[in-house]
Chains A and B, each alone.
Chain A
Amino acid sequence: MNNFTIAVLVRNQFGVLNRVTSMFRRRRFNINSLTVSETESPGLSRITITSSGLETDKKQLINQLYKLPDVCSIKELNITESVTCELMLIKVKNDPESRADVRDAASAFGAKTLDYTRDSIIMRLTGTSRELDAFTDLMRDYTILEICRTGIVSLERGATTISKMEI
């Protein structure tokens, strides 16, 4: 079982996300993370999916995606040859006893404080999923009130782009 990341350019049509996720559901592929956003081209959206499975699962997943008419191009993003990041908002309890420790951890990770009240602190952290996991783990020593993560986005290093790749 391996993790893999796939970027998919889809026509920006009504219900296109449903088509993609419905295929994942009925063919029983795991989704670990999924993000959708606009792109440099007005008619296209980019879906970034991380999933896990065997090599054959990955092939099957890509082949099934190709069959959706709204899918324009697909690219597997190799982890070493791409830049990948995720954004997290985390709300922890503002406790006078732990306040300093939270601040130190945040500064070590480069997390930015966005909201500061008597009872709570909201921090924003961007980084790899692993960095976000590590920071979350650290915060478990205090009281985590809420977490929200975007899921990962990823671009290939260098000048190559997905839309120029051969399907």
Chain B
Amino acid sequence: MKLSGADIIVRTLIEQGATTVFGYPGGQIINVYDSLYKYRGEITHILTAHEQGAAHAADGYARATGRAGVVIATSGPGATNLVTGIATAYLDSVPMVAITGNVPTTQLGTDSFQEIDITGITLPITKHNYVVGSVEELADTIREAFRLAVSGRPGPVLIDVPKDIQVAQCEFTEQPKPVEAEPRQAAKEIRIRDAAECINLSQRPFIYFGGGMTNSDAQEELYKLAEVLDAPIGCSLMGISAIPTDHPRFLGMQGMHGHYASSMAMHRADCIIALGVRFNDRVTGNRAKFATHAQIVHIDVDGAELDKTVYAAHSMRGDLKLTLQKLIPLLEQKKLPEWRKTIEGLKAEERRTLDNRPGLTPRSAILTLNEYLGENTPVATDVGQHQMWTAQNIVLKNKRRFLSSGGLGTMGFGMGAAMGAALATRERAVLVTGDGGFGMCLNELATAVTYNIPLVILLMNNGVLGMVRQWQTLFFDKHYSNTVLERKTDFVKLAEAFGAKGYHAETPEQLDEALKKAFSEQGPVVVECMIDKDEFVLPMLPPGGSMDDIITKVGESDE
């Protein structure tokens, strides 16, 4: 069958199972939009308000499903508007295929109208990218992009298609099924054996996992490992929701604003088994003082993450699931009552530091939200204080249900991501956001209304850019430079103006009432929840500090 390049793009997307795609049309991608029209019975295109929102939506779709999210944009500004979304996906290892139009091949390199070197721009934020050179190689390029996006450590891939290639025709044969990820491999046996010997000597083992856990689906092996080692489990921000947050061995998140017991347990461990993590500076603090008493066993699918920032006694490249399956039989069953006692002690200490003040506090707001979450509700966040409050207090049962920009820390990520997750899972999604982050991409409310996407937006409004302000309070002599918003936005009216519902809450009762209503609506609802501007995210490990510097309380005089 002879098809145009544009038709081939859409047919190949359908062939790859990408039947919900996100994007925004324009001059150099108009042929693809004509094909989307032609095949509209087989593929749904979600038109966002801005290409950035489309990229985050494709990202959210991918995080919620594990399949590559697809975003389409035109050349020039359409393509550059994707950049933040692609970078967000890259830093969090999210599979994504971005397709951009470009000026005709003969005009490339001449600074034509809306021409931009998007493959040059996205070189450091994609796993790989392509400028398609001929219509004959188009279908296979797209297939290869899908394979690359989901293989090994997932990530975004961009395909730039000059207009003449969208127009040109060639033979097209649809493949019977989508491409598969490259086969997974366990780490080398000798390395696994060495690591097992090291772990067997441990008296205080700690298991620390990250986003790689979700990608490898190694949860069953993780539970088994924890049982054999009698070890507590912690995770990075990217690991949240990979296992139920109420799992009895789970101590919670590590890092700058991690759970106290989890961070302290890792600090006291004599052996850290690190699974699918990359020891980001937000986790380790001062690397010279990080886990000085511990032997680290590091397993990751990406060899370049081994010994990159933290030197492990035993590091091995391999798929988590397959490697753990080989490692576990080599381990001796442990019983570590003393270590357990230490952990229980840390948990008790943590309980004492929990914020149980009456009234509407950040923690009470998230705890109230928890009451309304279903088993499968995806919860997205933006970036800042609300993100950490959510990460610390949210209760999630199922994997791929916490969507947060961990690596890049992209404010404005949440709106798109929540929409993408809602569409992918056909579940009502929740976005927890702040007035800063929401302000960056609230235009996507229009999209949520248009497509009647079930979405509860819990907007924690404190009138300030709280996380930066917190740093200013602690480290910059309370010089609140440009963090006090003083905006006059009426978020209830704003929601209504977009065609959404809006509620306002200043007390716990009002919040409960508003959420009750919000969770019974069909489309998007904004629940504005007023938070005091001086609320802190605690505990806090100061940047570049070690566990000895952890701040668990801010004195009255500091407020």
Contact = CB atoms under 8 A, between A and B. Distances in A.
Interface of A: 14-15, 18-19, 22-23, 26, 56, 59-60, 63-64, 66-70
Contacts of B119: 15
A66 B123 contact: no
B161 to A, nearest CB: 15
B133 A69 contact: no
A59 B127 contact: no
B131 A63 contact: no
B302 A59 contact: no
A63 B304 contact: yes
Chain B CB within 10 A, most for which of A18, A56, A67: A67
B350 interface: no
B307 interface: yes
A73 to B, nearest CB: 15
B307 A59 contact: yes
The 5 closest A-B pairs by CB, nearest first: A63-B304, A63-B303, A69-B128, A64-B304, A26-B124
B148 interface: yes
A19 B123 contact: yes
B308 interface: yes
Contacts of B308: 60
A28 to B, nearest CB: 12
A22 B302 contact: no
Given A67-B302, A69-B128, A18 B307 contact: no
Chain A CB within 10 A, most for which of B120, B124, B304: B304
Contacts of A19: 123
B415 interface: no
B307 A60 contact: yes
B311 interface: yes
Contacts of A26: 124
Contacts of B311: 56
Given A69-B128, A69-B148, A18 B306 contact: no
A60 B307 CA distance: 8
Indicate the size class of the contact surface on chain B. Answer: 10 to 19
B157 to A, nearest CB: 9
20 contacts: A14-B133, A15-B119, A15-B131, A18-B120, A19-B123, A23-B124, A26-B124, A59-B307, A60-B304, A60-B307, A60-B308, A63-B303, A63-B304, A63-B306, A66-B303, A66-B304, A67-B302, A68-B128, A69-B127, A69-B148
A68 to B, nearest CB: 8
B296 to A, nearest CB: 14
A67 B90 CA distance: 13
Interface string B301-324: 011101110010000000000000
Contacts of A67: 127, 302, 304
Interface of B: 119-120, 123-124, 127-128, 131, 133, 148, 302-304, 306-308, 311
Contacts of A18: 120, 123
B530 to A, nearest CB: 43
B293 to A, nearest CB: 22
B34 to A, nearest CB: 28
B156 to A, nearest CB: 13
B303 A14 contact: no
A66 B304 CA distance: 9
Contacts of A15: 119, 131
B123 A22 contact: yes
Contacts of A22: 123-124
Contacts of B148: 69
Nearest to A66: B303
Nearest to A61: B304
A13 to B, nearest CB: 9
A68 B127 CA distance: 7
Contacts of A23: 124
Given A63-B304, A64-B304, A67-B304, 18 more contacts: A14-B133, A15-B119, A15-B131, A18-B123, A23-B124, A26-B124, A56-B307, A56-B311, A59-B307, A60-B307, A60-B308, A63-B303, A63-B306, A67-B302, A68-B128, A69-B127, A69-B148, A70-B128
B540 to A, nearest CB: 30
Contacts of A63: 303-304, 306
Contacts of B124: 22-23, 26
Nearest to A70: B128
A66 B127 CA distance: 11
Contacts of B128: 68-70
B215 to A, nearest CB: 16
B182 to A, nearest CB: 11
A29 to B, nearest CB: 12
Nearest to B148: A69
Nearest to A18: B123
Nearest to A65: B304
Nearest to A68: B128
Nearest to B305: A63
A64 B311 CA distance: 17
Nearest to B133: A14
Contacts of B304: 60, 63-64, 66-67
Contacts of B306: 63
A26 to B, nearest CB: 5
Contacts of B133: 14
A55 to B, nearest CB: 10
